Amino acid sequence: MSPLSPASSAPNGQGPGGDPGAEADRAVTAILEATVHGGERGTVVDSPPGAGKSTLVVKAARELVAAGERLMIVAQTNSQVDDLVDRLATAAPELTVGRLHGSDAAPDPSALRHPNVLPSSKAADLLGQSVVVSTAAKWQWVKGVDPWRHAIVDEAYQMRSDALLACARLFERALFVGDPGQLDPFTIVGTEQWAGLSYDPSSSAVVTLLAHNPGIVPHRLPVSWRLPASAAPLISAAFYPYAPFRAGTGPGDRLLRLRDAGDGSATDRVIDVAAESGWGLLELPARNTVRTDPEAVQALARVVRRLLDRRGSCRSERGESPLTADRIAVGTAHRDQAAAVRAALTGLGVPVGGVDGVTVDTANRLQGREYDVTVVLHPLSGRPDATAFHLETGRLCVLASRHRHACIVVARAGIAELLDEHPSTEPLRLGVAVKFPDGWEANHAVLAHLSEHRAVAAGGG
Amino acid sequence: MSLLTTLARLEAVRSGHAEPLATVRHRHLAERPMLVVPLAAAGETGAPLAVLLGRDRDRPRLLTVPQPLDRERRFAFLADLADELLPYLESFGEEVETLTKESRDSETGEQTEISRELCLDAPQLLVPNRGGVELLGLLGRSTRFRRTVEDPDPGPYPAPTRVPLLGRWLTHLRERAQVPGSSLLLAMTDLLGRHWATGQSMLEDQHLGALLAWIDPPDGLTGAEAALRAETARDGRGQLLCPPAGPTTDPQFDSGLLAPAIVRYDAARQLAGADPAQRPDPAGRQSDAVLRAQVGARERDIDGLLEAVLLPVWEQLWHGLDLLRQLPPAAHLPDRWTGDRWSYTAHRDRLAAGEPPQPVRDDAVTAARKLAQREREQTTVGVQEALDDPLAMAEHRLAGEALAGVVTGVEPAYDTSGKTSRPRPLVTVRTTDRPHAEPGAELHRAGGPSSQRAQLVTVGAPSGSVTVRLLNGMGRKKDPAPGSVPEVGEQVCFTLFELTARQSAPLPEPEDTPWTHGGPPPGAMPAAPATDAGVRTGMGTGMGTGMGTGTAIEEGADR
């Protein structure tokens, strides 16, 4: 997907001695230069988890507006748009931001609290704004307006090629920013018919763009500010072997401490292990289960409950803060699993959702979000088979890269054996770039690492 | 696989026969469909070997290629196939209804009336399995560009004009078969698999004989025993009692019976074609007539062999059809069949307009349009099946995407925020369903008098009940229109998913393909797009588009 040649931004494989801040700044400068003055109509930025993608978008928007341009921004979901509007309006009060929304989807109040944000469901109302932000789904319906000279496409790897096809008439040049390691866009119908075509409508917008514009060499952001030093090397090696990155903080810069001692249960042991090492695997006895495995769901809920009960606190470069429910996320593969976890958490008296509660969502929904501690139900836990859905590299990558301090995985034993029984059997298709690493390999790499931070739960809890 | 399907499969293992997955038939079945059992020759992808086809159970028509490597015989076979299929495929083009629709020109704003023909019925082809669908598609691909004597440059091997025409029809049927819920070309294994759950894997369900063995096992055998017999039992010559339903044949049939028969046919043909002086036995030099008769006899041997492996499959197809016809048709079938009729009519019109054959590859815009259409139809067919069939709805209820139960209380309430107060009654439903939704989530009433939205208010207070607030569909008066609010004791169902598929966003015309997608394709002409995409979009009356695909879509909702 991304070429092996390093982008113009940063020298590769720089030792930990180099200043990560300076390295990241050089990359950003090169990107902004290419966006405003580059010879290609498109600029692509590959960003690993937490590498300052949103900051880059804000910077690029300010730069372009300062140069006298108006621009449109395309994001993929309403919450991403609201989030982006909030960030833009906060960081750049000089911008006038238009929030273009659907007639049946009111924007989040957090996006509208700023005086420089104007919401409307009609693009024509927002033409005077220096920046107009909306979802790809909404932009596709906009007509009768002159094209913008510049666009920024956020989370571009999650945008489908056909959505870009419908939007591209709206802009002349565009900066595409995204994380190639996250979930690929999906469809509910078969698309074998178009496999191998450069414009396969179900592939990612960036894949199509690069195939048709071979002059575009993707830039890279080299430093993850989110992932701690305990996580960046694993995530980089397991999911980004050809585009390595490093953590912006060193070992010991991030500390998760628990005020109250553990009670010796497996739940508390895994919390202790995770606080110490940044990773924890709570292993339940091997068993084939329904998707909403009640024991695993209870285990997830108990981990969250104990994290709160034991009064965790997080120390980082931002200072020390208590580990509150809103700083914890639970990630699952399926929506019914998320629903079951929400019910279990509510049963244990843990606040769920909203501004103050624990976030419980699927990998798809957690993309682009950041928490102090994440608790993850392993996608393959309790399964009798390993399907392409559950093996998808991006799913595991999203779930394992949302945290600033620690990630605790809950899983039934036997996943390594399950993987070995289900080697990848997806057909190879002419013209389709082989994704590397594949989900099988990435799952094994992560599992091997997790097994060093394991707490085993007895049957039944 | 949904939880309910898993349960049904487990249940089938225990009971020894397939369990129903549906209470109604979810696919349109023509009164007299065309049944087609195609066979492919081993060793060359898409090389036809034989086909058994017809609309009459007692009189199937057999076509064969006695020497699959012989291109002339292959093309003769395809010409014969065209003779058999084209009259059927084209026979639906004559009887039409004319639909008219008011339309506003998007530029001038002028009201114009558009009328369009829609064929009253359409053909339906049934094949045994997906392999059969694929093989018909491959035959379509290999024949639709064939040059004919009518071409300016016919080349050295012109085909009869009907051969490329057959290719275009087969290509169209194959394309249409990719659209979820369509019924122009159907695979029997898919049809049966949608309506029954067996105790074997999905892969094993691809074997038509084994699948039928589970659904309707012979007396004295369990489904598993009968399926095993269908898959493995052989006669004294080592031949399968239940030959595979194609398109590939059993290798033991190929090597033990078919290959020797083809060798004998080749030898007879060689003899008949050779110079009389060269014939091996000068004493018994046979007359040409005798030799030609021998070629004919060897050919009939091959026909006999192929017929013997095709007839059991032919019977299985009819058996499957009999089973499916016992199910009452689902309520939305006529609606979806109308989509197939539009598709048929559109192809008829493209042929009549002299358009070139479907291109080898879709361009970017056509591919995106087709994908959008298929996604829309996938959503539509899922929703319609749930509305038509309590068993299909049960899957959604079990997945927390719907709830059903009996109304135990209705409390009048009003929204007084506006100028006039509007009815917003609270309805409490006794149900054990646990919808995966937070209070405030939007619900949709299924099976109500009209489309109606509701809001989830509380779940489980009191336990075993759900309270919702109805939001619309109650008329314009202060009090709800009669019958628009369910009464105590009434059975109701609400879904978390919308009951109509969302409109697809408009796409550019192929000649406007943007730079991100390589610009306009070479030869892009500002002609009507060659897809069905857009058919059934934004047309409440069931009026298709095809003309002005873009406008019809854009009429739709603003998102």
CA distance B401 to B495: 6
- Between A and B, how many CB-CB pairs are < 8 A? 111
Q: Which chain B residue has the Cα nearest residue A216?
A: B516
pLDDT value at B503 more than 90: no
A141–B374 C-beta distance less than 8 A: no
Work out the average pLDDT over B376-393: 95
pLDDT value at B541 more than 70: no
Structure tokens at A36: 């405003």
Structure tokens at B288: 């040409």
So what's the pLDDT on residue B281? Answer: 61
Largest pairwise CA distance in chain A: 66
Instruction: Please state, for a pLDDT cut of 90, what percent of chain A lies above it.
Output: 67
Work out the average pLDDT over A321-348: 93
Q: Which residues of A touch B363 (CB under 8 A)?
A: 199
CA distance A248 to B124: 63
So what's the pLDDT on residue B113? Answer: 83
Closest CA to B504 of B532, B547, B534, B546: B534
Q: Which residues of B touch A137 (CB under 8 A)?
A: 505, 559
pLDDT value at B531 more than 70: no
Q: Where in chain B is the domain with CATH 2.40.30?
A: 402-495
Work out the average pLDDT over B38-55: 93
H or E segment and range at residue B411 = strand B402-411
Query: CB-CB: which of A166, A213, A336 is closest to B506?
Result: A166
Q: Is A304 helix (H, G, I), strand (E, B) or coil?
A: helix
So what's the pLDDT on residue A186? Answer: 85
Q: Which residues of B touch A191 (CB under 8 A)?
A: 371
Burial of A364 (0-12, 13-18, 19+ CB in 10 A): middle
ipTM of this complex: 0.88
pLDDT band at A118 (very low <50, low <70, confident <90, very high): very high
| Tokens 């009670």, residue located | A263
- Please state the φ and ψ torsions of residue B445, each to the nearest 5 degrees: -85, 125
Check whether the bond before B68 is cis (ω within 30° of 0): no
So what's the pLDDT on residue A161? Answer: 95
CA distance B449 to B486: 9
Contact B340, B532 (CB under 8 A): no
Q: Helices B208-215 and B223-232 meet at what angle, rounded to 10?
A: 160
Q: Are strands A219-220 and A42-46 parallel, antiparallel or unpaired?
A: parallel
**For the segment B50-99, what is each residue's pLDDT rounded down to a tens digit?**
999 999 999 999 999 999 999 889 989 999 999 999 999 999 999 999 98
**For the segment B92-126, what is each residue's pLDDT rounded down to a tens digit?**
999 999 988 877 766 677 778 888 999 999 999 99
Q: What is the pTM of this model?
A: 0.88
End-to-end CA distance of chain B: 32
B399–A336 C-beta distance less than 8 A: yes
Q: Distance from B438 to chain A by nearest Cα, in Å? A: 9
Q: Which residues of A touch B510 (CB under 8 A)?
A: none
B178–A193 C-beta distance less than 8 A: yes
Q: Distance from A340 to chain B by nearest Cα, in Å? A: 8
Cβ neighbour number for residue A21 with a 10 Å cutoff: 11
Closest CA to A292 of A321, A335, A331, A326: A335
pLDDT value at B462 more than 80: no
So what's the pLDDT on residue B340? Answer: 96
Work out the average pLDDT over A36-46: 90
Least confident window among A31-35, A275-279, B31-35, B273-277? B273-277
Least confident window among A146-155, B149-158, B366-375? B149-158
The more confident residue out of A420 and B156 is A420
Burial of A153 (0-12, 13-18, 19+ CB in 10 A): buried
Query: CB-CB: which of A42, A194, A353 is closest to B438?
Result: A353
Burial of B55 (0-12, 13-18, 19+ CB in 10 A): middle
Q: Are strands B442-446 and B125-127 parallel, antiparallel or unpaired?
A: unpaired
pLDDT band at A108 (very low <50, low <70, confident <90, very high): confident
Q: Which residues of A touch B372 (CB under 8 A)?
A: 162
- Residue B175, amino acid: E
A199–B518 C-beta distance less than 8 A: yes
**For the segment B128-146, what is each residue's pLDDT rounded down to a tens digit?**
999 999 999 999 999 999 9
| Tokens 């007359």, residue located | B287
Q: Which residues of B touch A213 (CB under 8 A)?
A: 515-516
pLDDT band at B555 (very low <50, low <70, confident <90, very high): very low
pLDDT band at B207 (very low <50, low <70, confident <90, very high): very high
- Please state the φ and ψ torsions of residue B492, each to the nearest 5 degrees: -130, 160
Work out the average pLDDT over B346-358: 94
- Listed in sequence order, the residues at least 6 apart from A449 whose beta carbon sits closer than 8 Å to its beta carbon are A234, A238, A279
Structure tokens at B336: 């979806």
**For the segment A61-99, what is each residue's pLDDT rounded down to a tens digit?**
999 999 888 999 999 989 889 989 999 999 999 999 999
What residues are paired with B54 via a beta bridge? B35
In Å, how far from its chain's centre is CA A38? Answer: 28
Largest pairwise CA distance in chain B: 112
So what's the pLDDT on residue B549? Answer: 34
CA distance B373 to B531: 10
Structure tokens at B130: 């997906």
DSSP state of A141: T
pLDDT band at B525 (very low <50, low <70, confident <90, very high): low
pLDDT value at B514 more than 50: yes
CA distance B176 to B184: 7
- Please state the φ and ψ torsions of residue A315, each to the nearest 5 degrees: -110, 130
Q: Which of B175, B497, B517 to mutate to test the interface with A (most CBs of A within 10 A)?
A: B517
**For the segment A147-184, what is each residue's pLDDT rounded down to a tens digit?**
999 999 999 999 999 999 999 999 999 999 999 888 88
pLDDT value at A202 more than 60: yes
Query: CB-CB: which of A169, A190, A199 is closest to B367?
Result: A199
Instruction: Please state, for a pLDDT cut of 70, what percent of chain B lies above it.
Output: 90
Structure tokens at A300: 């997830």
H or E segment and range at residue A407 = strand A403-412
pLDDT value at B550 more than 80: no
Query: CB-CB: which of A102, A104, A201 is closest to B371?
Result: A201
Q: Which chain A residue has the Cα nearest residue B460?
A: A343
pLDDT value at B39 more than 70: yes
The domain over range B402-495 is classified in CATH as 3.40.50 = no
Structure tokens at B161: 């004009």
**For the segment B272-325, what is each residue's pLDDT rounded down to a tens digit?**
877 666 666 654 566 778 888 999 999 999 999 999 999 999 999 999 999 999
